[in-house]
Amino acid sequence: MTAVSTRETVGVWLVGARGSIGAMTIASLALMAERDVGTSGLVTARPEFAHADLISPAGLVISGHDVSDIPLIDTIRRLWKEGKLEGDLNKIGDRLAEVEARLKNGVSVGEFPNDLAAVVQLRHDLDEFKSQYGLSRLIVVNVASTEPHSQEASAIPSYESLRKVAEKSAVLAASSLYAWAAFEGGDAFIDFTPSQGFRLPALLDLAQSKRCLYMGSDGKTGETLVKSILVELFRRRNLQVESWFGQNILGNRDGATLSDPYVKVSKVKSKDRGLRSALGDSVDSIVGIDYVKSLGEWKIAWDFIRFTGFLGCGMNMQFTWTGYDSVLATPLVIDLIRLTDLAMRRGERGAMPFLAPFFKDPFGIDEFRLVSQDEALLAWLQLGHEECLVTEGHNA
């Protein structure tokens, strides 16, 4: 395993940087660099990760794209006030101003004549960022709002075919344009949303040729996180789950976006896939998502589970989950950045299945249970640690 050099600078490019998760990630990393906040909620702060040579927040340079022009500090102050969060924002004013000055306008519908022109512009922004700050590695993270999938793009079989289409028309969703731009430069791409992103045959073709790292999709932060634990209970006690109904209500911009039924469908599929994978298609699984503006950053989930026990006795379980959306998501984004950087230093490429515990719909993974996913992550981490010890022993 390659150790972090004090001379290296790693870049993080947030797609949707001015949104709630993007803004909170920027502020949290700045506060962590100032040692002004704790590490509760950070997976990589657990004792099992202590031996891993993970990059510190001070070694990261942050920038990003967004179609919004709302100042970062305004969003951050709103989030801190609404959530009554710890951390002195006055200490990081200069850091936030520096990031603000680096942010670029994102891709807007109809702005470019074709997809290729959009990718060229996005790639120019990434290359400029890498050059200006002498970045050793760059990780692009999509934390923007959920968007509809493009069926036309899904049918394009190869990167060569995609370029031909992209020279003449615009068929890709914005998340896929960002993934394309990242892969063109050999950069890593993480999709924290249920959007299409890199999940296109043509883009996977490109990622393979460029030896890029990628993973997604849809951060596992709340109700689905609880589900991924509870399914273990039902399976290990051999209790037959008959139906599982989950109703979610949420505010903020993501909630408003999900009020569009064409956008909502990808989120519902993402939340439902893991449960069916763990318990089978015979389960009557229903997922409801509704926008309640007054909730702001808060989200609430109520789940009703009907199951059959010994002697055919029908029973049920119910739970309610209330969480502050961006507070649940932000530490996972930071974990993903640190672990992806480690994988890049190890020289790995392709999908990163060890990151499955962070996602509702992990790419290429059928294992839904959180404990099993977490054990796989720790095994990956330990493998690198053992290789490092062998190398050190050989050099000695």
Per-residue pLDDT at 315: 97
Tell me the two tokens of residue 11: 């870049």
Successive 10-residue mean pLDDT values, the chain, 396 residues? 67 97 97 89 96 92 96 97 95 96 89 95 98 96 90 92 95 96 98 95 97 96 90 93 92 74 70 78 88 91 96 96 94 98 96 97 91 96 62 40
pLDDT confidence of residue 157: 94
pLDDT score for 357: 96
Q: If we measure between CA atoms, which residue out of 200, 192, 125, 116 comes closest to residue 158?
A: 200
pLDDT score of 64: 98
- The pLDDT of residue 108 is 81
Q: Both tokens of residue 147?
A: 């968007």
Distances (CA, A) of 302 to 228, 275, 289, 363: 15, 16, 11, 27
Confidence (pLDDT) at 388: 46
The pLDDT, as a whole number, for residue 389 is 42
- Residue 123's SS3 state is helix
Question: Domains (ranges, CATH) in the chain?
Answer: 10-219+327-388 (3.40.50.720), 223-324 (3.30.360.10)
Tokens of 236: 């290990």
Cα first-last separation, the chain: 16
